[in-house]
Amino acid sequence: MRIVRRGWPVALAAVLLVVGLLGWYMSIDLQRSEAADNGAVVDSKTTAQVQASVSQALGRVLTYDYQDPASTEAAADELLAGAARTEYDTLFASLQERAPGQKLMLSAQVQAIGVKELHGSTARLLVFLDQSSRRAKDDESSVSAAQLAVTAKKVGGVWKITQLKPL
């Protein structure tokens, strides 16, 4: 009887400890889940911001006028970084070679855009891009539908495109 009487606080404490630790464990487990860690769509403000920035950036960087290549290059300097920048430089160099002869003009417009992942200052997006090219030399023009996987990083308050992969 005495042992039971003296033991009850310990027994109760043990039960309470188990309940409490389980609660903490479940809470941390839920917070650590992949879903909760991804702010895409959930953080609607940042999602909208990334969408707007990337749409604008793609439009500027992939629009090219043989008469004014400098403004496209300036946009690339401003809005591209990392692997996207390196790849773009290669593309831009070959463009610079043919563009004046063909009198080439390119334009691009984002048709649909979705943020798949948003972790802090890194975002992954799926972009449907409409592109058109016009060669003034022989008056040839074409349109194409592109699908891009884009990675963007926020650097110094600006969302920059760091990866650009056609799907």
Q: Which residues bind another protein (CB under 8 A)?
A: 6, 9-10, 12-17, 19-24, 26-27, 30-31, 33-36, 38-43, 107, 109, 111-116, 125-126, 128, 130, 132, 143-145, 147, 149, 167
State which residue, 36 or 158, has the beta carbon closest to another protein.
Answer: 36
Question: Least distance to another protein from the beta carbon of 110, Å?
Answer: 11
For the chain, the C-alpha Rg in angstroms (whole number) is 27
Question: Least distance to another protein from the beta carbon of 90, Å?
Answer: 24
Q: Please give the C-alpha separations between residue 3 and each of 14, 15, 16, 19, 47, in angstroms, as whole numbers.
A: 16, 18, 20, 24, 61
State which residue, 121 or 144, has the beta carbon closest to another protein.
Answer: 144
Question: Least distance to another protein from the beta carbon of 117, Å?
Answer: 9
Question: Least distance to another protein from the beta carbon of 79, Å?
Answer: 21
H or E segment at 44? Answer: helix 44-61
Q: How far apart, in whole angstroms, are the C-alpha atoms of residue 150 and residue 128?
A: 10
State which residue, 38 or 96, has the beta carbon closest to another protein.
Answer: 38
Give Cα 20 to chain centroid, integer Å.
39
Single out the residue of 82, 86, 88, 95 nearest to residue 61, CA to CA.
88
State which residue, 102 or 132, has the beta carbon closest to another protein.
Answer: 132
State which residue, 21 or 91, has the beta carbon closest to another protein.
Answer: 21
For residues 150 and 124, the answer to whether their CB atoms sit within 8 Å is yes
